[in-house]
Amino acid sequence: MEIKKLKFISKVKDLKEYMERVQEPKYVEEEEVAIIKTITLSIKEFKKFTSDFFEAQDFLINTCDWLEQEKVFTAVRVTDGATKIVVYTYGNKYARYVAVEEEPKIEIKTLSFASKPSDIVEAKNTKYRERSTVAIVKTIILSKKEFLAFINDFFHEWSFLKETCIELEDGIFTAVRITDGVTKIVVDTQGFNYARYVALE
């Protein structure tokens, strides 16, 4: 589950209308949602979907719930592999609220990483650190419960860490920021699915 704040517009006919209206603040509702899954459509299917958001879609049925603890609605990401649309239905079978998900800007940071700490206490207290420059490509927001589980077991193979580390052309590796909205931890997995290198921001 990924919690993101996006610019939603209610009851837009198609993607073209969304792109026009998102420029006008009176139409935009900035809201946080919990993205529970990604639905990948063929280019043809995606074009059909984005040309009529009012059409009922089987893949949108039962995708919208209210999460009391996080105080957000659940949503789904619909993509053709390039453009990403986040939708929450508000109990309907069509795309009632629509947001286009923009690609995050890459953030280059030099941080002091702890190598293979078992948990956040060890990451804070270890004397052996490595200064390294990474490209932070994504921020993953976890619930308080999920974040607590993560910081207490860095050796666990977390699904949200899968395929987050690649080497860029300039030799810098990509990393992700994990947060509960308060504490921020940068993780460089070095190709593993656990938090191999950990830095506290």
Per-residue pLDDT, 104: 66
pLDDT by residue (tens digit) across 57-80? 999 999 999 999 889 999 999 998
Phi, psi angle pair for 163, to nearest 5°: 55, 40
Whether this prediction's pTM lies above 0.75 is answered by no
Per-residue pLDDT, 82: 80
Per-residue pLDDT, 169: 74
| Angstrom distances, CA of residue 99 to CA of 4, 55, 61, 81, 150 | 11, 17, 18, 16, 29
- Domain map (residue ranges) of the chain: 2-100, 107-200
pLDDT by residue (tens digit) across 88-133? 999 999 999 999 998 767 889 999 999 999 999 999 998 888 999 9
CA atoms of 77 and 16, how far apart (whole Å)? 18
Per-residue pLDDT, 186: 97
The contacts of residue 125 (CB under 8 Å, 6+ apart) are: none
Per-residue pLDDT, 62: 94
pLDDT by residue (tens digit) across 160-177? 998 889 888 778 999 999
Residue ranges of alpha helices (H) inside the chain are 15-21, 43-50, 120-125, 144-151
